[in-house]
């Protein structure tokens, strides 16, 4: 394990995972907000919004994430000159967050929508019967119950998101997979140790995350 006794290498390793952590955190928030909005659109009584939600899901769920992240870089940044920061790393980071968010939002939307289907029709009827608007019925009654029903599948989506964040390496951010490649290139004799340290780091963070979501799903479940 000589590779990891070199402080420059450690720095590469730590920086790589810090990027993954930041990408995951920001894209989780982005995907959750967008996904809930999209789910709201898909069940709304307004055809234009329903169409928009459906189009979003069909587009981003069926496009490879690599292509979406490429598009953020070459399309939004290079062609359309969308500059999010003077610092190139920070700029690529935010482009990555956009790509990860719009992609993951499609999956979050569909999970929430399946959650909405678990909420009995009577819940929304009772809400409407006391005079709630569509938005109130959705945000106060239906979505809170739908969200609780899909905590576990949302957990899987966010775990996938954390791993998908490595794709932002393709547009030049030194996140963990790029860091691993760099270390392997410089230390050809230590491929396996390097690989297992990087893979193991993901596992150490993500396995407990999975259990945490499972525990949360049980705790938040709505008793009927």
Partner 1 sequence: MTTSEPLIVLEGVNKYFGPLHVLQDVSLSVDRGEVVVVIGPSGSGKSTLCRAINRLEPISGGSITFDGQPLPAEGKALARLRSEVGMVFQSFNLFAHKTILQNVMLGPIKVRGEKSAAVRERAMSLLERVGIAAQAEKYPAQLSGGQQQRVAIARALAMQPKALLFDEPTSALDPEMVGEVLDVMTSLAREGMTMVVVTHEMGFARAAADRVVFMADGQLVEQAAPAEFFASPKSDRAKDFLSKILTH
Alpha helices (H) in 117-175, listed in sequence order? 121-129, 134-136, 143-149, 151-164
Torsion of CA 124, 129, 130, 132, to 10 degrees: 50
Tokens 């003077």, residue located: 86
CB of 44 to partner 1, least distance (A): 13
String of contacts with partner 1 for each residue 154-173, x by CB under 8 A: --------------------
Among 128, 182, 186, 190, binds partner 1 (CB under 8 A): 128
Listed ranges 46-54, 138-146, 165-173, 211-219: which one lies at the site for partner 1 (CB under 8 A): 138-146
Dist. CA 162–CA 173, nearest whole Å: 15
String of contacts with partner 1 for each residue 194-223, x by CB under 8 A: ----------------------------xx
Maximum Cα–Cα distance across the chain: 70
Nearest to 112 by CA among 137, 138, 147: 147
Dist. CA 112–CA 94, nearest whole Å: 25
Among 125, 191, 195, 215, binds partner 1 (CB under 8 A): 125
Determine, following the binding rule CB under 8 A, whether residue 132 of this chain makes contact with partner 1. yes
Dist. CA 100–CA 161, nearest whole Å: 7
Our CB check for partner 1 shows the closer of 38 and 149 to be 149
Handedness of CA 199, 202, 208, 214 (dihedral sign): negative
Number of residues that make up the chain: 224
Listed ranges 1-9, 69-77, 139-147, 209-217: which one lies at the site for partner 1 (CB under 8 A): 139-147
Among 123, 156, 170, 209, binds partner 1 (CB under 8 A): 123
Listed ranges 11-19, 144-152, 154-162, 199-207: which one lies at the site for partner 1 (CB under 8 A): 144-152
Among 129, 189, 192, 219, binds partner 1 (CB under 8 A): 129
Is 101:31 a contact under the CB 8 Å cutoff?
yes
Dist. CA 48–CA 216, nearest whole Å: 35
CB of 47 to partner 1, least distance (A): 14
Size of the site for partner 1 (CB under 8 A): 21
| Contacting residues toward partner 1, per CB under 8 A | 120, 122-123, 125-133, 136, 140-141, 144-145, 148, 222-224
């Amino acid at each position: 394990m000589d590779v990891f006794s070199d402080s420059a290498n450690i720095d590469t390793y730590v920086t790589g995972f810090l990027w993954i952590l930041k990408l995951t955190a920001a894209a989780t928030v982005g995907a959750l907000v967008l996904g809930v909005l999209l789910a709201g659109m898909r069940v709304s009584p307004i055809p234009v919004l329903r169409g928009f939600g459906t189009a979003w899901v069909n587009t981003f769920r069926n496009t490879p994430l690599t292509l979406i992240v490429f598009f953020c870089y070459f399309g939004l940044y290079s062609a359309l000159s969308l500059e999010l920061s003077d610092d190139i790393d920070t700029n690529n980071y935010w482009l990555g967050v956009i790509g990860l968010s719009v992609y993951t939002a499609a999956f979050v939307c569909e999970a929430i929508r399946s959650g909405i289907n678990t909420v009995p029709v009577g819940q929304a009827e009772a809400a409407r019967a006391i005079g709630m608007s569509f938005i109130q019925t959705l945000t106060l009654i239906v979505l809170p119950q739908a969200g609780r029903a899909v905590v576990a599948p949302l957990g899987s989506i966010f775990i996938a998101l954390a791993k998908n964040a490595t794709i932002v390496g393709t547009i030049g951010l030194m996140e963990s997979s790029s860091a691993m490649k760099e270390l392997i290139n410089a230390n050809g004799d230590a491929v396996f140790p390097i690989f297992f340290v990087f893979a193991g780091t993901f596992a150490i963070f993500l396995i407990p995350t999975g259990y945490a979501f499972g525990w949360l799903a049980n705790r938040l479940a709505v008793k009927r």
